[in-house]
Structure 1
């Protein structure tokens, strides 16, 4: 465990995933106060020489807000249209906020077939490597606008996408910012006696099946998808931590070796 903690503290390439419920209000509008705090932390880490990749949700939610649509859309064309509308605003907000800290960002929209096509996979890897070499912060989202029902879902949510990206680029650490502190033995929003599980050594089927989803109608990811992401990271030898995104300073605490949220221990050391 001491060795793993040191690996986390020494992490050079870090993927951070933030969900819709963390960066937006209930009506889908951007939570600028919290998002600015997150940007400040990530920009500071980039200034310190860390390679930072941000995987963000929120495009559909922001699109709903911009179009004054209160309910989450059910049809694929509606989702794709709102994602297209919201993605423009989402990147505008991030670009403006990061520029306040003299950081350059790049939009990377990934399609679901990138993990199946070796050429696309290699090209995507090369793009990430070049962006990081340039000192740019890639901001990643799934390309919802061109996804089709005929394509078998590979990502389905940005928890899985963030783990796929972490594996693809050989990240040292994946941090999932959630709306709760980490993985509990039961749903903390429904059970007051729920206890936080600080560390998971084996991401087995029982852990996934026993997890209760706490997601709302803002996004697609719940606790089960986060544990699924942990399984991908475990197989790839990448430590993953789930923590509360309402306090982005948790990222500093993680890199200081403090016990924050739930740590998923990878199967192997690379």
Structure 2
């Protein structure tokens, strides 16, 4: 018998990784994007506040430019991100419009949350968008974000960005969709006996010791970054669920309290 989860989910941040949006061969997964737009639109129509943190700018940019490999030079990566972001938001706008749901783009750098005035301004922007029934679609501003000695602007990855956004806007739940079913006690790709952990109440050193692996050639995230996001959510009295985003309709199961993926918190 499956035990249903009790979740607070009035305000939800959904983070979708590049692996959900872009196939391994680099082509865009339009079916997944359409399904994501449908699910989020349905959530909004039922009165939930939803923010989407979407990776994929570089992956989509590589596809748009017909490139097979991510460039090594930072300026070239930033150029690809600029190209891909405009293409990605156009696809989102088209798909969300099918379900009569408006969207707004929010590009962020880490320093926005550091300086009080810009911090307040961006929170006001989120509040205004949600109040007008608009779904904010968030990504790091990859075209300008850099790490310098006295001015760090990069979040590093969208796992961290999603947790920062979620905790700053007072989200109850962060749903992180990735290419894995949840958090395991061993690497499921290497150990056939690896067990999916349904619930982790706290993230400690033992949890980090179990983590490993890295992202795809299109993305940047690994399991450690997801644990850091979960730790941030737990400290803010929120919850996070890590689940497989191959079919974004899994969000309906998550919101209903079905025990899919791993619940943190």
TM-score class normalised by the smaller sequence: over 0.9
Structure 1 stretch displaced more, 95-104 or 252-261: 252-261
Q: Could you say which residue in structure 1 is the equivalent of 2:90?
A: 92
RMSD: 1.4
Structure 2: gaps of 5 or more residues: none
Q: Secondary structure in 2 aligned to 1:206?
A: helix
For 1:1-270, what aligned pairs fall within 5 Å after superposition? Answer: 5-6=5-6, 8=7, 10-150=8-148, 151-152=151-152, 155-265=155-265
Using the TM superposition, give the Cα deviation of residue 62 of structure 1 relative to its aligned residue in structure 2, in angstroms.
0.9
d(CA) in 2 for partners of 1:62, 1:28: 8
d(CA) in 1 for partners of 2:176, 2:237: 16
Using the TM superposition, give the Cα deviation of residue 154 of structure 1 relative to its aligned residue in structure 2, in angstroms.
5.1
| Aligned residues of 1:184 and 1:196 also touching (Cα < 8 A) | yes
- TM-score by structure 2 length? 0.94
- TM-score by structure 1 length? 0.93
d(CA) in 2 for partners of 1:87, 1:216: 18
Structure 1 stretch displaced more, 55-64 or 243-252: 243-252
| Aligned residues of 1:60 and 1:79 also touching (Cα < 8 A) | yes
d(CA) in 2 for partners of 1:27, 1:81: 21
d(CA) in 1 for partners of 2:188, 2:121: 42
| Aligned residues of 1:183 and 1:261 also touching (Cα < 8 A) | yes
Judging changes above 3 Å, is the alpha-carbon distance between structure 1 residues 50 and 153 closer, same or farther for their aligned structure 2 residues? same
Q: Which digits, 9 at most, give the CA deviation of each residue in 1:198-240, with x for residues without a partner?
A: 1111101221232012422110011110001001101111100
Structure 1 stretch displaced more, 187-196 or 148-157: 148-157
Q: Which digits, 9 at most, give the CA deviation of each residue in 1:130-150, with x for residues without a partner?
A: 000000000000001011231
d(CA) in 1 for partners of 2:170, 2:67: 39
d(CA) in 2 for partners of 1:32, 1:198: 30
| Aligned residues of 2:146 and 2:153 also touching (Cα < 8 A) | no
Structure 1: gaps of 5 or more residues: 266-270
d(CA) in 1 for partners of 2:37, 2:116: 33
| Aligned residues of 2:145 and 2:154 also touching (Cα < 8 A) | no
d(CA) in 1 for partners of 2:223, 2:13: 18
| Aligned residues of 1:64 and 1:70 also touching (Cα < 8 A) | yes
Using the TM superposition, give the Cα deviation of residue 175 of structure 1 relative to its aligned residue in structure 2, in angstroms.
0.2
Using the TM superposition, give the Cα deviation of residue 73 of structure 1 relative to its aligned residue in structure 2, in angstroms.
2.0
Q: Which digits, 9 at most, give the CA deviation of each residue in 1:96-153, with x for residues without a partner?
A: 0000000000000001211211111111100000000000000000001011231436
| Aligned residues of 1:209 and 1:224 also touching (Cα < 8 A) | no
